[in-house]
Structure 1
Amino acid sequence: MPLTELVCPHCESTVEVQVTSVTRSRECPHCGRLIVLQFATKVTGSKRRALLMPTKEISRASGAPVAAAVQPISLENDVQKRLMHDPEVRSIASILRVGIFVVLGLVVVLMAGHWLKWWPWLNGGDEATVASTNVSREPVGKSSRAELAKDGVVQLTGNAEMDAALLRAQEFLEAKTVEDRLKLVRDRELMEEKIRGYYAAKGDGPIAYERVLPDRGAVAGSTSFIFQVVLPTGAERQMMLTTPAGGKPVVDWSSFVVYSDMDWVEWMKEKPTSPRVFRVLAARDEFFAGSFSDTDTLRCLKLFDPLSKDSPPIFAYYERASPVGREMEFVMSQSGGQALPMTLALRYPPYGSAENQVWVEERIAEGWVARGR
């Protein structure tokens, strides 16, 4: 057997040992301790070399710390106070404080705009006031401002333009014939046929009233005015007058009488499939049934007859993604849960439908002022 010379790792003496391919260790003849051997063969038949694989223990210096010398320091106080030391939390809190002040500022501006009537001026004058006024289901309710006109049926204000409009309103109400009244209405050429038909059915003559209350929001130089006409029952009607350039004030007749193309109950009985124009009070609703059961694509409105609390409500539908649907969604999003005055074109579907379910064909106006309609 071949002899291999190596140095004992224990006593550091030179020793010769016999090795084979299965050799793992040999005892040192000098100190008697085992010498661990390992062989590596490069090529078959080549000489083998014993490689010493000594083991070592790495000792730690005495007194060396096992853990880091610096440890996190616990903060005192409760969780909320400790969180306020977090920079990210403090940044978010700062943003929230700024947001609260911004929201409060917007609320103050909106309230001031409401009381000072900025919005009608920004939207195009008093005509927009009628179009955007939120009213209850009863647009003709008890007057809460009758005391403003204690001195007479028409209380003049000293504002020349408004006083001229007030006297014109009085003249309109006291007109004895339809011919006299036609001279005082806006868009006569568009409205004459409807006005004649209306008074032929309901009777002509002066309109009974107690007083006309002036427009307290109007300013000098205004050309549009909205008056409250107090009826003998104590109820009120809104009357809008505009003054054309170089002319005299004229009455928006259709919004004053709350004109619609058909009687509410008669319309429900006949169920015409062609569009009809109605002045209504509209509120959101969730009534889906019959031909209008698709809650995914349709939206529902509950419509009320402004002239009669005894008339049954009608449910009107529109497709949310359609052009008219997008208009209606925008308008109704600002309703605040109230019924809004609207002028709509409505029609019954050509197929079978309940008498209280119709399509919204067109949103003509937000409010009851719709020229020529």
Structure 2
Amino acid sequence: MIGSLCSRGKLGLAMKVMDQLVKDNCRPTVITYTILIEATIVDGGIDEAMKLLDEMLSRGLKPDMYTYNAVIRGMCREGMLDRAFQFVRSLDSKGCPPNVISYNILLRALLNRGKWEEGEKLVTNMCSRGCEPNVVTYSILISTLCRDGKVEDAVNVLKIMKKKGLTPDAYSYDPLVSAFCKEGRLDLAIEFLDYMISDGCLPDIVNYNTILAALCKSGKADQALQIFENLGEVGCPPNVSSYNTMFSALWNCGDRVRALGMVSEMVGKGIKPDEITYNSLISCLCRDGMVDEAIGLLVDMETGGFQPTVISYNILLLGLCKTRRVVDAIQVLTEMVEKGCRPNETTYILLIEGIGFAGWRAEAMELANSFLV
């Protein structure tokens, strides 16, 4: 019951149940206390969690490493690194020396704050104590190195990891694939995707979508399409993000028929369009001067259960202003406000420029002045 209450965010009620158990002479277990400690930490109360830990010890219960690691994680989450290290150093005297999970929590916290020197010392200390780094340790290093733009160093860490007899997992490869895509080194991204498969770690749709987006951004829509069309065969069917990427790429290449075919195929497979789908369609139609069709899509968007956002309206307003349909643009602005969508600075800039471009300089000045007020 206590676990269920904590998972639903009802910590106060869980604590009352705990108090009642004690009153009824029911002895709480290590697991019960650990659940409460974790929930208290999530609620932002590391000091309260420490009180629970003391209470647990006073009842003659010996916390296990799961309990202690929950406390370490909580301290790191709240930025109390010095306190976390002090707590870890005290574990030996408690007869419960830190394990690889403890060190991984500390390592992640250090590297997230850019403390590489301290991180290296931690790994050295960890090894000297006979606690060998595991796949998670190396994955943390790889991920952080990629984040900091040190991709070659991350590749070297992967090689060291393999030499140690450890098999990289998705968390090891994901940052490398993403980093290579970000740097435009797409051949290497695809090569590492193949390494991933050869290591028995099947890429997920997020990996493939990252590569699809990078290929399309580099103007390699045909290569992206080949990968896209094979997704089903590799056991990773495309999702709405995959279709959105391919739609935009094909439309930008001037292949409207295949682009719209992507949307039809997606809907035919029961994949519901999302806000990005609609905004991409509206943007492409407006860019090609098909503004009336874009207005119709805004209506379809609402019918599909999506409330157009300020981005949706701004895309449409840009299309209307570019075609000098100022009256329609003002009408869209009115509808936007009536539907509870608040215009932003971009909205007003688009309208002011559009109205001025259409020769309505006095009206543009009036709108600009009202915006400044």
- TM-score w.r.t. structure 1 length? 0.20
Q: Which has the higher helix share?
A: 2
More strand, by proportion = 1
Structure having the higher Rg: 1
